Amino acid sequence: MAYLVLVRHGQSEWNALGLWTGQRDVELTDQGREEARRAVEHLKDIPLHKAHTSKLTRAKQTLEEIKQALGHADLETVEHEALNERDYGDYTAKNKWEIAEQLGEEEFTKLRRNWDHPVPGGETLKDVHTRVLPYYEQEILKDLKEGKNVIVAAHGNSLRALMKHLESHPEDKVHELEIGTGEVLVYEISEDGTVVGKEIRAKGGKA
């Protein structure tokens, strides 16, 4: 048995402004760093053996805050672009709430949360799933099957894509999946890679 810990990065500078960040590389706010440190309170009973994170600064900063707070700065860490946030294409750097007013609530929700609703110049959640799943199966799952407890610090949509797989969530219900900034989810993984338990250790903030 091994534990898979999923942590969404803390509040970023653009989260605070209500801007679609996507693959733009922005840093955490002071609140975001605090959210990351608070996550540690829910992880002290899990000895971590390996970490995976994206190439984006806000996810890496979140992981570093966690490692430092745990006194585990030497934790083996792999950075990979497969875990990067969804590319929001033409909507990148635009204010979410202004777009919501322009599109209407129904269309806005489809854009943000649906499985394969098109995004001009960007990625759907299905596209994100297509790059996250192979990385999980080839790299992260290998560690878990070896009995290593793994932490993944990443983004709202790369983690939602992974959650869909772990929980066998149907495509037409994927809009129900959510993970807030600084939120901590812990999955129990059996030796054959099957998910046998899930626990929400800390609810996250909205972004």
Tokens 């007013």 -> residue: 101
Catalytic annotation, pick one of 35, 65, 85, 123: 85
Give dist(CA 55, CA 82) in Å, integer: 9
The answer to whether the CB of 138 falls within 8 A of the CB of 167 is no
Tokens 């540690």 -> residue: 40
Token output for 118: 């098109």
9 catalytic, yes or no? yes
171 catalytic, yes or no? no
Helix (H, G, I), strand (E, B) or coil at 160: helix
Give dist(CA 188, CA 194) in Å, integer: 8
Residue 90: C-alpha distances to residues 23, 146, 156 (Å): 12, 42, 19
* Helix, strand, coil percent values for the chain (each to nearest 5): 45, 20, 35
How many residues in total does the chain contain? 207
Active site residues: 9, 85
